[in-house]
Amino acid sequence: MSKSTLPAKDWLLQVLPKSFKNISEVVSAEHLAEFSNEMTELKQRLDAQQEGNTKLKEDFEAEKVKAQELQQKVTALEGDKTSLNTKLTEAEKDRDTYKEFYDQKSQNGQKLPKSDASNKETETKLAADHPMSILLSRAQ
């Protein structure tokens, strides 16, 4: 973006059309040139400030868009959080139900005798009058 540059005298004439004639008639050429230089420098600073303001406004708008996007994400995450909390509550309820069932069965298991049909020794002694016992005793 190129800017058109005007001599300070022409710029002053545009900016101060009524006052410039009076100023130029009263002030000497040397003072008018010095005043023109100062005004040119002032214009350059104002232009730079205007560019800075434009850049700041663009940055502000970009940050505003980012803030809106982040707000949307926060809203979505809050919905997810609510959904996950609901699922967690349901899972805890199921866990408590199964834990209660397990604890109940565990308590029942503590009341059972230490040995039952599932953990007895498989080797049993035959009665002395059992036919197999008699044959085995003769074989020895």
Q: Which pLDDT value is given to residue 33?
A: 80
Per-residue confidence band for 20, with pLDDT thresholds at 50, 70 and 90: confident
Q: Which pLDDT value is given to residue 14?
A: 77
* pLDDT higher than threshold 50 for residue 1: no
6-10, 29-33, 127-131: least confidently modelled range? 6-10
> Dihedral angle at the C-alpha atoms of 67, 70, 74, 77, nearest 10 degrees?
170
14, 29, 54 from 6: Cα distances, Å: 10, 18, 22
Nearest CA to 8 out of 28, 46, 29, 38 is that of 38
Q: How do residues 36-92 score in pLDDT, each as one tens digit?
A: 788 788 888 989 999 999 999 999 999 999 999 999 999 999 999 999 999 999 999
Angle, helices 8-15 vs 17-26, to 10°: value is 130
- The secondary element (H helix, E strand) that includes residue 100 is helix 29-111
Q: Which pLDDT value is given to residue 109?
A: 64
Question: What is the distance between the alpha carbons of residues 67 and 77, in angstroms, rounded to a whole number?
Answer: 15
* Residue type, position 67, single letter: A
* pLDDT higher than threshold 80 for residue 116: no
Q: Which pLDDT value is given to residue 80?
A: 93
